[in-house]
Each structure stands twice: as C-alpha cells, then as structure tokens.
A and B are shown apart, each in its own frame.
Chain A
Amino acid sequence: MVPSADPAATHLAPLAFTVPIIVACLLLALGRRLPRWAVDGLATTTAAAVAGIDVLLLMAARDGRVVTWAGGWTPVDGTTVGIALVADPLGVGAALIAAILMLCALVFSWRYFDSAEAHLHALMLLFLAGMTGFVLTGDLFNMFVFFELMGAVAYALTGFKIEDPTSVHGALSFGVVNSLGAYLTLCGIGILYARTGELGLAQLAVALRGNPPEALLVTAFVLVLTGWLVKAAMVPFHFWTADAEAVAPTPVCLLFSGIMVALGVYGTFRVYHVVFAPVLPAPGVQCLFLVFGAVTAVVGAVMCFAQRHLKRLLAYSTIAHVGLFLLAFGTLDAAGTEGGALYVAGHAGIKSALFLMSGVILNRYGSVDEIDLHGRGRHAVLLPWLMPLAGLALAGLPPFGLGMGKAVAEEAVATAGGWWAVAVFVLVSAATGGAVIRAALRIYRGTGRAPEASPPGTEETSGTDEEAEVSGLLQRVPLTMLVPIVVLLLGALALGVVPGVSEAFHAAASRFTDGAGYVARTLGAPAPLPAPTAPSGWTLSGVALSLLSSAMALAFALAALHHDRLPATLRAAARPVAPVLRGVRALHSGHVGDYVAWLFVGVAVLGAFLAAGAL
C-alpha cells in the first residue's frame, strides 16, 4: 500500500496533544484573572476540539496508518534519529474515547466548587494531552514520557480534595506504586536501547528481527510491561486503584476508570505486537495473559461485590473488567482484539456514567455509602431507573456495546483458552453488574433490610466520610450533571446497535495485531495487507450468554439484599467463603509498603512465567 498521500493529515496527530498543552498554559497564565465561566468554556471547547481532531485523524487512518515524523526526520534507508507518531485506527479510537470522556468530565465539573484558580482545568487538559500522545506515538521512549505526563498530573488530580487526609494518602499510594512501575519500564527501555541502539517501536522490531528468544528479551519485555500493567491495574499491581479512585474528584475517577487503565492494556499489547511478537513465542505470552487476566478478573469481582463504599465498588469492578480486557487481548489474534476493543469502548461509556452517578449521589446526599443511604433516593426521578439499567449493561445486557464486546471476546477466548475462560467472563460480569444493581436498589428503592448501626471495629471501609464536591448539597440534579450521564449511556448503546461498528472494530483490530505492517509502513516500505478475517458482532450464543450474565447479575443483587430469606442450605454453602473473603480483603491493607512488595512479586512471577514459556 502506498503511504498516505494527504500531507495535511500528518499534521493532525501532533496537534491533538499540542492544542490542549497550549490552552493549559494559557489557563495557568491567565486563570486567576478569568471569570469561572470563561475557564469552563475554554477547557470544554478545547476537549471538544481535540475530539474533532481525533475524528479527522480517524477518518484519515481508516484505511491504514498515518505516520508523522516529528522534526521532519523521515527515515533514509530505514534509519533515522527522529520520533515517529503512528496513528492507526485502534490508537486514534482510544484517543477519541479519552477526548469524549474528558468533555463529559469537564461539563460535569461546571458545578464543581473549587477549581483552584483554573488549576483543575489546566491539569485535566494536560492529562488529556498525555493520554492522547501515549496512544499516538510510535516510539518506546516517547511512550514513556507521555506516560509520565499522565502520571504526574494524575497524582495531583487524585489528591485535589486537600481537606480530606485520605485523599493525600490515596494520591501518595498511587504516586509511589506508579512511579516505581515507571522506573522499571525505564530500566527495560534502557536494556533494549543498550542492546539495539534504537528507541522507535518499528526500529526496535527491525533490530531484533531473527533474534532467538533469550533472557535479555524476557527481562526487557517484563520490565517495560510493568509500568503499563501498573497503570492497567492488573493483579498484583492493582492495589493503588481503589485507594486512588475512592478519593479522587468524580470527574477524575471517570477518566481513570473509563480510559486510563485501558491505556495500560493498550501499551502492553502495542509493544507486544510490534516489537516482541516475532521474537517471543506466542503460546507463553497467551498463557501468561490468560492466567493473570483470570486472576485479576476474579479478585476484582470478589472485592467489588464485598464493598459498600460506592466509588471503591466501582474501582474494583474496573479491576475485574481489566482482567477481562487482558483475557480478550491476550488471545493475541484479531478476533480477541476486536472483542477487547469493543469491550473497552462499551465499558468506557457505562463505567463513566456510573462514576458520574456516584458523584451525583455524593453531591445530593453527602455520602457514597450504600448501607447508610438505604432508601434515601426514593423520591429521585431518573436515576432510580438509569442506575440499575447501567448495572445490567455492565453485566452485558444486549444491545449495549459492552455486551457485544463481551460476546465477541467470549467467542475468541473460547477458541484460545477453552470453556473456563467463558465462565470467568459470565461470572465476573454478573458479579460486578450485580454489585451495582444491589447498590442501586438499596439506595433508590430501599430494598432489603434497613441498616442497623454497624458494630465497631469492622474492617469494611464505609463511604460516609466523603466530602461533597459542590458548595452545599444539591436539592436537585442540575442538567450539566445529568446530560453527560445520559450521553455516555446512549453512546454505549449506540456502539451495540449502529450497523458497521463491529466491522470497523474488526478492521482496527486487524491493523493493531499486524506488527509487520506497522513496521513497514512506519519506515516507509510497502506493507502487505493482513489476510482478511470475518468480523463477528452479535451472535446467537453471544446474546444468550449476555442475557444469562444479566439475569445472574439481578439474581446476585437480590440474593445479597435478601440474604436473610435465602434457604438455610444455600447460606451454609456460602459460609466457607467468609474466611477467604477476609483474607483477600486483608491483603488490600492500604499500606504502601505492602503494595511495593506485591509489585516486586508481580515482576518476579511474570519473569519466571515468561522465562519458562520462552527459554
């Protein structure tokens, strides 16, 4: 295929992250002199403009990839000193999701009381720039700097509610664990550079071509992945997630759960497909992600169901879904990647809407504790319907896009890993959806027994101490908070019903898994098209499994709400679960030293696992 003939399209990728950087600078320089509406307007317009640039770039990259050489350092005879931006449909799609979520988050925060002289808005725009650059760059070290930009502003955004000491604690855990992951990634990049003298993904792939799978490659792969997988919240790197998302402002949580963790998954598989696919045997890598994905999914789902703090519940549900993303992308083929990407997109809509609902609940009732809020929302109008609906959609209810992604992914993992992976998909979706439905029914319908005073010294974290984010509690939900919720849910619905979505995602996934084509196109060689495969979309078995997990979610929720009315045999059967749950809960201690120890355990186990498969 000939390189893209339209030179204007090559300027879109750098603009997508430079525009928010420049506006953030203006907000920082002028913020204290601008009225609040101007700050809101400028930031929101910028996010919309970035989304527009992403749409144009997506159209340009539709039939391949748009390559931009920063500084004009186009390769001569396949070598160069410069950095390439390589926009392929999956990467640009991720950037577009980030921009749309940022738009929703900024609209939601119009009513946010304290923006600290526009610092909140400037940091949000820098965060968007970091996420956008991370998915558009085609250079490993450049990925790392964008990753660090994402991290640096994310720590500050997490701790933004400075009145609350737990918010500083959450930000600190996040900062320590993520920075440590980033250092290990940098070590991995250093090892690869020392070996090859290259930093570009495509150039690295060329330099390593024909290399036997040796120890250096295993170590470098594991180290580079560590930073990305910490961001992705894979077990056992996930401990920071719930601590950070419990305390971060609602609009920030939306971005963390909706897209940031998925970008960790993106980085992992981008680096694998372009650089390591030809040199590390696929079965070992597949097996690695099947195992770690399943463990992540189960731990996340169990912890999610055991929460009463609404934001922690949603954070653990995100961890569970990251496990499912890893299972889907871990098949390493186009079908699994298509399912995973659809699942990420659908999840972004649903999970973000749920986080905004938790924000509405916090600002309306001054708490995010499910037990404490029992029946408090009885007189609410729209959310008593939207929240259980979002819970069902989280479990995979057709025709939401998340359900379609789940269906496609299930079929792909069944081919790659057997029936048990499908069972993990169904059970984990049902548990996370069930937890949301349980909370919704308790808060908005007063289902289940009214709360008694909880015994002192319980190990559960309640959500009664969270500070509201508006001045004074809201009497009614303002439109600026309601519209983003509805838009996000409708977007997730559209993904599942608009014709052609599955085909577009399949084409994007075929490009993403075609590492050889990426390398050739980046370095200016003609790239052979990958052999076309059929997109999957909704299938009968997929719809059936999604209906099953939705029904199970409802059953889980009702069983949890009416557990005192369950038959005695069922309750006796559930009794041995309690100590296991206590054990898993005790591991999530909130002690950052524990988190660091687990991080090292994770790196060592990943290394041992991969070495056993590759060497």
Chain B
Amino acid sequence: MSRPARLVLFLVAAAGVAALLVVAFLDLPPFGSPFHPYRDRAVAAAVAHATANVVGSVTFDQRGLDTLVEETILLGSVAGAAALLRPSKEERENTTVPEGGRVLEATKLTGYLLLPVTLLVGIDVVVHGHLTPGGGFQGGVLLGTAVHLLYLTGHYRALDRVRPLPVFDSGEALGAAAFAALGIAGIIAAGAFLGNILPFGTFGELLSAGTVPVFNIAVGVEVASGVIVLLAKFLEQALRVQREAVS
C-alpha cells in the first residue's frame, strides 16, 4: 500500500472506531456518580484484613492472582529482552569499557548525594506498601534507578562493580519464585491458593495486613533486580558489544 492510501484507510477506519467509542461512552454512568460497587466491597475487605492501603490490598490480597501473573510478565519480558540482546555470532563483547567523556562536577555531586537518598526512599516505598501509596513495583523501580545514578555520574566501571549481574539475574528469578511459592504456601496453610496466611496485626502498624508486606518485598526484590538487569543488557549492547566487520 502506498503511504497516502494507508493513511486514508487508517483514518476512515479510525473514525469508525472513534464512533463506536463515543456511543459507548454515552451509555456510561456519569462522571463523579456514587455508583462504585467494587470500591465499596474492596474497602470493606481491605479493612477486614487490616490493610490501610486499599490499593495494596486489592493488588496483593484480593486480586493477588493478577499481580502474580503481572510480575511473571515482567520476568518474561526481562528474560526475553536478555535473550534478544545476547551477543550474536557476528558480535563480540569487549572486556574493557571506554570511559565516558567529561562530566560536570555539579552532576557528579548531585549523583552521589542522590544515590543514598534514592535507595532509602525506594526501601521505604517497598516496606510501607501496605500502609501508604507505593509498594513493591514502585519501590523496586526506584531502587533499580538509584544504582544507575552512578552511571549518570560518568562511571560505568563503578556501576559495573556495584552490580554483579549474576546476583541480580538470580535475585529477579528468586523474587518471582518467592511470590509463586507464597501462593502455594497459602494452599498448605490456609487451603486457598495465594491466601493471606499471616496474622493481620493492628490496622496502620508496620506489622499488619498479613502477607501483603511479604508479597511487596518479594516483588520489590524482583522489580529492582529486573530493572537493573534490563538496563544492564541495553547498556552492554550499546557500550560493549561491537559488530565485527563483515569481510
């Protein structure tokens, strides 16, 4: 198809799809209406399990199965990206990495100052996932990015030293495995897959919400490791791998 033909075809079809969407939206309950049957039930269920962050209760307790599969998607995506980014027959990996260009002192300083802060915030967001907004996914991404502040300060070698890839490779897989194993522990302890098997504790305390904080930590480990592995594979492909000249 020529470019204009494709564009015309797409626009005509997209107009049809837009019409479908508009007529459907007209049948929806009006914005801001009090009709929220799932919210009403979910809040009650979260409070019953002493989970202050209702979103955390929905993701790790009420609909934990969705989250199990979602973190498996992340695991599969990282493994898939690693498989696709592996050096091919025509490529070879350099053992030495060219040091980056000059970095502003101000950038270096900011990087060094922010590294511990970001790590702390990341841990905080993971650990308090059942109390305040946040959780394993969000905190894990923070932790993963924190390490890469070292790269922004211009030290790929320093980054290379603080993140032994095999450790994080395993960390990611073991975090995901821990989630699934907790699901099976639910069968053994409570007769229900992914059941909330720990004591619920006092609403609002650090030790509350039963298994929700444990799930948060498992996901935090997996996501942090996954982000580090994923970025490492892309950095390696960009910085280390060279295509051999085709003779």
Contacts and interface: CB of A to CB of B under 8 A. Distances in A.
B29 interface: yes
Interface string B59-82: 001111110111011011101111
Interface residues of A, number: 86
A116 B69 contact: no
B72 A149 contact: yes
B169 to A, nearest CB: 7
Contact of A594 (B1, B64, B66, B69): B1
Contact of A149 (B17, B23, B64, B73): B73
Interface of A: 7, 11, 14-15, 18, 21-22, 24-26, 28-30, 32, 68-73, 79-83, 85, 116, 119-120, 122-123, 126, 129-130, 133, 137, 139, 141-142, 145-146, 148-149, 152-153, 155-157, 159-160, 162-163, 168, 171, 187, 191, 193-199, 214-216, 218-220, 222-223, 587, 589, 591, 593-594, 596-598, 600-601, 603-605, 607-608
Given A25-B176, A597-B6, A597-B9, A129 B72 contact: yes
Nearest to A153: B76
Interface of B: 1, 6, 9-10, 12-17, 20-21, 23-29, 35-39, 41-42, 45, 58, 61-66, 68-70, 72-73, 75-77, 79-84, 86, 88-90, 166, 169-170, 172-174, 176-177, 180-181, 183-184, 186-187, 190-196
Given A194-B28, A600-B10, 16 more contacts: A15-B184, A21-B68, A25-B174, A28-B172, A29-B177, A70-B64, A71-B192, A73-B45, A73-B62, A139-B65, A162-B84, A216-B23, A216-B28, A601-B12, A601-B13, A604-B16
Contacts, number: 232
8 contacts: A24-B75, A71-B192, A81-B42, A85-B65, A116-B83, A145-B66, A219-B21, A607-B17
Nearest to B46: A81
A30 B169 CA distance: 9
B1 A22 contact: no
Contacts of A587: 1
A149 B86 CA distance: 22
Nearest to B61: A71
Contact of B191 (A72, A187, A589): A72
Given A600-B10, A607-B17, A152 B80 contact: yes
A600 B186 contact: no
A32 B166 CA distance: 9
Task: Output the residue of A25, A29, A159, A194 with the most chain B CB within 10 A.
Answer: A25
What is the predominant secondary structure among interface residues of chain B facing chain A? helix
B193 A70 contact: yes
Choose among A26, A80, A219 the residue with the greatest number of B CB atoms under 10 Å from its CB.
Answer: A219
Contact of B65 (A142, A171, A194): A142
B169 A604 contact: no
A195 B28 contact: yes
A553 B103 CA distance: 70
Contacts of B20: 215, 218-219, 222-223, 603-604, 607
Contacts of B184: 14-15, 18
B102 to A, nearest CB: 35
B228 to A, nearest CB: 14
Contact of B79 (A119, A216, A600): A119
Nearest to B87: A162
Contact of B27 (A14, A195, A607): A195
B83 A160 contact: yes
Contacts of A222: 20
- 3 tightest Cβ-Cβ pairs between the two chains A and B: A156-B80, A604-B16, A72-B192
A126 B72 contact: yes
A83 B60 CA distance: 12
A142 B45 CA distance: 19
B86 A607 contact: no
B69 A25 contact: no
A149 B21 contact: no
B89 to A, nearest CB: 6
Contact of B88 (A24, A162, A199): A162
A214 B13 CA distance: 22
B1 A163 contact: no
A137 B65 CA distance: 10
A123 B80 contact: yes
B66 to A, nearest CB: 5
Nearest to A586: B1
A153 B69 CA distance: 12
A608 B16 contact: yes
B36 A123 contact: no
Contacts of A157: 80
A116 B37 contact: no
B24 A198 contact: no
Contacts of B10: 593, 596-597, 600
A70 B192 contact: yes
A589 B16 contact: no
A71 B62 contact: yes
A142 B69 contact: yes
Contact of A197 (B24, B36, B76, B170): B36
Contact of B180 (A25, A215, A600): A25
A598 B17 CA distance: 12
A71 B65 contact: yes
Contacts of A142: 63, 65-66, 69
Nearest to A602: B13
A29 B169 contact: yes
A28 B75 contact: yes
A197 B35 contact: yes
Given A68-B193, A597-B10, A22 B66 contact: no
Given A197-B35, A601-B13, A603-B17, A591 B66 contact: no
Contact of A122 (B41, B61, B79, B90): B79
Nearest to B190: A72
Given A597-B1, A597-B6, A215 B27 contact: yes
Given A156-B81, A603-B13, A219 B23 contact: yes
B42 to A, nearest CB: 5
A153 B84 CA distance: 11
Contacts of B41: 79-81
Contact of B1 (A168, A197, A216, A589): A589
B80 A133 contact: no
Contact of A28 (B15, B69, B81, B169): B169
B196 A71 contact: yes
A530 B24 CA distance: 33
Interface centre among B10, B45, B180 (most CB of A within 10 A): B180
B66 A14 contact: no
